[in-house]
Amino acid sequence: MVKEGIDSNEAFFDRKAFLTVSGQLHLEAAVHGLSRVFCFGPTFRAENSRTRFHLSEFYMLEAEIAFMDKLEVLTKIVEDTVKDLTKMTLDKADVDMKVCSEEAKCDLKWLDKEFIRVDYDSVVKILSDNRDKLKEKLDPTNGLTKEHEMFIVKYFDNVPTFIIDWPKEMKPFYMKECITDTRKVSAFDLLVSNVGELVGGSLREDNYEKLKSQIPERSQLDWYLDLRKFGGCPTGGYGLGFERFLLFILGINNIKDVIPFPRWPHNCNL
């Protein structure tokens, strides 16, 4: 990182530096000493997408929990968090919620229902059986499109739905292999109406040798490997997109309407 025309000896970090896409890896380090940690702050994406769901800069709530070794426990924590956040918003900002819901389609019946859990293979079967109702072709090796996500939520009567146990090759290196099927990882995406994916999370791989064989750019992530090498513990965590959460509970159509000064590809006004 250096201004143009400045001697390299005056470079700010003496190496290439980038805007953050997540605080997760650092949370994994902190959780070994504090047992439960979270962060909330700006996050950046370089996806060249200008849909109503995407921003180049948005805010994300991320959390990490020590001694987490069961995906069903982690998804229950996420379910309780989403419900509690929504109920607190209703309690503290009821008037604002009513103003938004006068013109928006805001349905909160899901608050009294248990979230759905369904594995990725079952989702693929549901979509395959209903291919005549979909515009976009399903490629099980390439994940789900936004249309597929919306269809799955509608299929389950608009109750928020956890898709669990994803194919290993579709998820990042740090996700833990499923005990019953090493081709899968103990990961989830939480899908909700009007938005699609709201939360993503997983158990983290705590086996040193497995992680070592999967990790990219070893020289920069040796410290991350050391968390497993010197007396680590199982952890799990998740990330929740705050603006998407607002879309969900308010029923607003476009993510650019829930953040001041939105930035997206080819638009970054000062």
The domain segmentation of the chain, as residue ranges, is 18-257
pLDDT of 96 reads: 79
pLDDT confidence band for 7 (50 / 70 / 90)? low
- Looking at every residue in the chain, the average pLDDT score rounds to 89
| pLDDT tens track for 72-124 | 999 999 999 999 999 999 888 878 777 776 666 677 889 999 999 999 999 99
pLDDT confidence band for 257 (50 / 70 / 90)? confident
pLDDT of 77 reads: 98
pLDDT of 3 reads: 60
Q: Which fold has domain 18-257?
A: BirA Bifunctional Protein; domain 2 (3.30.930)
| pLDDT tens track for 228-237 | 888 889 999 9
Q: How far apart (Å, rounded) are the C-alpha atoms in residues 152 and 117?
A: 11
* Main-chain phi, psi angles of 238, to 5 degrees: -155, 165
pLDDT of 131 reads: 92
Nearest residue to 170 via CA among 130, 236, 123, 105: 123
Across residues 168-179, what is the average pLDDT?
94
Mark 17-30 as b/e (b = at least 16 C-beta within 10 Å): eeeeeebbebbbbb
pTM over 0.95, yes/no = no
pLDDT of 35 reads: 93
Q: In the chain, which ranges are continuous DSSP H helix?
A: 24-34, 71-92, 94-101, 120-129, 146-155, 208-214, 218-229, 242-250
pLDDT of 264 reads: 79
Q: How far apart (Å, rounded) are the C-alpha atoms in residues 31 and 50?
A: 35
User: Count of CB atoms within 10 A of residue 206's CB?
Assistant: 19
| pLDDT tens track for 179-211 | 999 999 999 999 999 999 999 999 999 999 999
Of 166 and 95, the structure prediction assigns the larger pLDDT to: 166
| pLDDT tens track for 20-65 | 788 999 999 999 999 999 999 998 887 777 777 778 888 999 999 9
Counted residue by residue, the chain has a size of 270
The 3-state DSSP class for residue 251 equals: coil
**Residue 234 burial (10 A CB sphere; 0-12, 13-18, 19+):** middle
